[in-house]
Amino acid sequence: MSQQNTATIKLAQALIQQPSVTPEDAECQDMMRAHLTPLGFNCETMVFEDVTNLWARKGSEGPLICFAGHTDVVPTGPEDQWRYPPFAAELADGFLHGRGAADMKGSLAAFITACERFTKEHPNHSGSIAYLITSDEEGPAKHGTVKVIEALEARNEKIDWCLVGEPSSTEQLGDVIKNGRRGSLNAKLNILGKQGHVAYPHLADNPIHTASLALAELTTIEWDQGNEFFPATSFQITNFNCGTGATNVIPGQGEVLFNFRFCTEVTAEQLMNKTEAILQKHNLHYEIEWNLSGQPFLTEAGPLVDAAVAAIKKTKGIDTNLSTSGGTSDGRFIAPTGAQVLELGPLNATIHQIDEHVSIQDLNDLSDIYEGILVKLLAN
């Protein structure tokens, strides 16, 4: 069979053709349900606010391996700048083109076709297989995976192993799998001063001046030294808004946004406490709002890592690298339940870009890798 005419590529095309810009699902989950139901999956739709989620499970016994992913995609940007229409799912030059091809509708298709082959070859496999699919990963991520996990926890339904289909590969398929992620802690700092005339600074309180020394100290602190799995925690100011636009007015307040990407050597509470101690040391009058986007997590060597490494070696003939680099993913909501979590997907070179695309060969190989993991973990 031609690499372009496989079940994986056809399903990936069908999913990409749905304009599911976050938080819209655009019937992608219905399409997945149509493939999963005949395999014996019990498909449950979970709706929270404006977000549609799918929990599908085959089997009732443990261990449970879950494929977690998302049907929503980021906006396309100017469509006239795309080589091919972003939702046309064109096949050209060995690539599948379209929004979501790499992030992550290609992975969704690859896991479903892997599951179809696996359940046909191993109808009496051990354990259970599940899908946790959301349409709220690229958006606020408040009513998607996190809410499904809360519902599963409430009924004591536990995931043992979780594969997240995020595009993890760098130079070639399977060269990198993510076995953890740093935590992400955000803050909005409102610095309170007193507006006045620049000619009379003694009658005003300039929030830029009062904040500058504190912010400078925050940027130079060594929060930790990292460890063998994670780089050192980083602090980055992402925005600083202050002033009226006039050159002769001392501003009355300023707003600073900043972010910590932190490792397992420090807690969010320690970062918050140390930050506020520094602000107080510099006598700032301030208000601060903290938002913890996710805790750091790490999956060390074990059945899931071993299965993924072996499947990549068998399909691609390469030794993979374990990494915790990059941003956050929905794995941050699943790992705290005790599940082993890995991210394994196609190349990330074009994700969120105009002309996003993925190798046709890579998607077919990815399906084989996923099947290999299922065989390693669940085949009798």
Q: Which of 137, 160, 330, 343 is catalytic?
A: 137
Q: Catalytic: 137?
A: yes
Q: Catalytic: 356?
A: no
Q: Which of 24, 25, 72, 356 is catalytic?
A: 72
What's the CA gap between 111 and 364, in Å, rounded? 10
In the numeric block, which tokens belong to residue 360? Answer: 């046709």
**34-40 — which CB contacts under 8 Å span 24+ positions?**
35/11, 35/112, 35/116, 36/112, 36/115, 36/131, 39/115, 39/116, 39/119, 40/119
What's the CA gap between 191 and 242, in Å, rounded? 9
In the numeric block, which tokens belong to residue 158? Answer: 């536990």
What's the CA gap between 29 and 163, in Å, rounded? 18
Helix axes 303-316, 360-378, angle to 10 degrees: 140
The candidate with the shortest Cα–Cα distance to 24, out of 99, 135, 102, is 135
What's the CA gap between 177 and 373, in Å, rounded? 13
Q: Is the peptide bond before 23 cis (omega within 30 degrees of 0)?
A: yes
**The three-state (H, E, C) secondary structure of 124-141, written as one string:** CCCCEEEEEEECCCCCCC
DSSP 216: H
Looking at the annotation, which residues are catalytic? 72, 137
